[in-house]
Amino acid sequence: MAKAGDKVKVFYKKETIEGVLMPEEDSKFIFVKLDSGYNIGLKKSLVKKIDVVKVKKSVKSKSKKIASKKGLPKISILNTGGTITSKVDYSTGAVTAKFTPEEVLELFPAVRNIANIDAVMVRNIMSENMRFDHYNLMAKAVEKEVKKGVSGVIIAHGTDTLHYSSAALSFALEGINIPVVFVGSQRSSDRPSTDSLVNLVSATMFITQTKYKGVFLCMHENNSDNTCIVSSGTKVRKMHTSRRDAFRPINTPPVAIIDYEKKKIKKIAKEKKAVGKFQLKLFNPKLKVGMFKFHTNIYAEQLEPYKKFDALLLEAFALGQAQIIKQDAFMTENMKIGKLVKELARKMPVAVASQCIYGRIDMNVYSEGRELQKLGVIGNYTDMTPETAFIKLAWLLSNHKKNVRKLFSENIRGEISERSEKEGFLV
């Protein structure tokens, strides 16, 4: 009888499929890892028979203790989950997290000549499950490494909410005096096109070969393996579901471009010193901060649940417009929406960001924007992404509750560009 990890030949319908039998996850299906690295699910009722081609052999791998190299800086890699620090066990077809220093260097041997690596498992979760508690956990883990005197910290993270976390730590790590670089992988480590190696090595180069301080994100510049771009933690966003160059700097050029092949770094932003004493400014995990996306044909009742929240971010149209003015007989609902927005803004901070992603809010151009300001909505002249604006709103409520309305539109961690440059569009 075939077992997980065996090389098998499955006679399915009118075809024969070969691969490694994976552990059962569904009683109605079997899963096979193909030679290409992809997995395929086959309905058991349509499987004629399964022949074992090769029985799995259990091999205990031993990682050799790796001595530190004199003269190299020390970097800590904090793992929070995601595929970047995972390794495929082709005997079982399963992807498992590998995270001792020895295992990291086994996965990324090119790093050993750049820095001495320490590795810490903080969490091992899918990034879509991140909560404010996890941001605090990451911030405390960074603080611990800073006290050890490391040259920099890399945070390995799933890509789905990578830009939320980079923004969160940008605010939480006040006065951080080393580079903290978030790194992810769009392609899993069992695929030939994985971007994990290039991303992590590029982040290591950035830490060891520059003097930047703060929180950053390092991912592919394009679909090739030539270069990576380093973006500010508050000015970056995931802009594609699967491309390796999914993360783009928004409304600003990248901080630096890392040429992985030539081992060179092109600095674009100025290297700035840390401002103030390093301290943690954490999130209140009990806060309820909402995000509401305006769309056509909305009803006031859709905003009703937010009455029980602590703050609300409105994703408005373009320069900051929303359906709050009546222009013809079909718009009676707009007046109800405006009334409710006013009620919410009296109870809590209600801020605005643009659905357009690129560009700056200017609520003085159209009557809807001017009316929103009269209703108490804040955020005019900002150019934050909705995700960064959401994180900033939560962070301000956690640390500057009395001054949220004033500070939301002030540039605190580089989240608001001083001026809008054409080079900031689709960089």
- Pick the catalytic residue: 89, 160, 225, 259? 160
Write b or e for each residue in 185-215: b if 16 or more Cβ atoms lie within 10 A of its Cβ, otherwise e: bbbbbbbeebbbbbbbbbbbbbbbbbebbbb
Closest CA to 254 of 228, 226, 224: 228
d(CA 184, CA 153) in angstroms, rounded, equals 14
* 3-class SS letters over 357-377: CCCCCCCCCCHHHHHHHHHCC
At 137, is the secondary structure helix, strand, or coil?
Answer: helix
- Residues 195 and 244 sit within 8 Å (Cβ to Cβ): yes
Q: How many CB atoms lie within 10 A of CB 22?
A: 18
Identify the DSSP state of 156.
Answer: E
Is-catalytic flag, 238? yes
Is-catalytic flag, 159? yes
- Residues 218 and 185 sit within 8 Å (Cβ to Cβ): no
Is-catalytic flag, 69? no
- Residues 256 and 210 sit within 8 Å (Cβ to Cβ): yes
- Residues 181 and 230 sit within 8 Å (Cβ to Cβ): yes
Longest alpha-carbon distance in the chain: 77
Is-catalytic flag, 160? yes
Question: Where does residue 55 rank: exposed (0-12), middle (13-18), buried (19+ CB within 10 A)?
Answer: exposed
- Pick the catalytic residue: 92, 159, 194, 252? 159
Residue 166 corresponds to which tokens in the numbers above? 């980079």
- Pick the catalytic residue: 33, 213, 238, 392? 238
Whole-number CA gyration radius for the chain: 25
Q: Measuring CA to CA, how many Å separate 198 from each of 193, 233, 278, 379? A: 11, 19, 30, 37
Residues with catalytic roles: 83, 159-160, 238
